[in-house]
Amino acid sequence: MKWKVAVAVSLVIAIVSLVVAFLALHRGFFKRFDTPAIVMQIKPLDQLSTVRYSIQRVVGVREQKDPIGEESLLLMVQGEVVAGINLDELNQTDVTYLNANTVAIHLPEPKILEEFLDEKNTKIWDRHITWWTPWVPYDPELEHKARLSAVEEIRSVAISEGILGQARKNAEIAVRTLLSSLGLQATFTGS
């Protein structure tokens, strides 16, 4: 008789365990990661470069010569601007659970990660010194100044064309895809 009671109790415990396990799996209780684990999954993405703009411009620089005259330079440039989000800045307070399968994430602000000129496609279009001062030598630094000005211009053009907004959207897609592979849905807070 004791063995019948033991079998019945064991059967009830097994059924209850199976029901609890089924409910836990169905509701995602075993999928829940703690916030530091989520941050640890996202941080290795580090500086997530999410968008690259290629911009062509003509940049002009003019410099007065001493005592009279001027030198001018026209530079045709092609530059690249890369934007993204530095996910290394993400911390535990930026991730909160909304429910068992959904987290809200506050991503760091997007920023320009890199800007540079494509030297193969950058060339001097025109360079001259005023005709009445032919003895004044060309300034080797004028081209360097024009290149610096060109980098600043392609940066401002990329920002005005919305590179930072596109970087945020692309970063959200990348993080959402990563977290969905872990069985989590992501929503994003902040601007």
Q: Where are the domains of the chain?
A: 1-31, 33-189
Band of the pLDDT at 164, cuts 50, 70, 90? very high
Contact 39, 90 (CB under 8 A): yes
Question: Rounded CA gap, 62 and 164, in Å?
Answer: 31
> Global pTM?
0.68
Return the SS3 of 141: helix
Tokens of 74: 């026209």
Q: What is the pLDDT of residues 48-95, one digit of tens each?
A: 778 999 999 888 888 877 777 778 888 899 999 999 988 888 888 888
Return the SS3 of 132: coil
Q: Which of 10-14, 29-33, 122-126 has the highest mean pLDDT?
A: 122-126
Question: Rounded CA gap, 95 and 97, in Å?
Answer: 7
Beta strands in the chain (DSSP E): 47-64, 70-86, 95-99, 102-106, 111-117, 123-129, 185-189
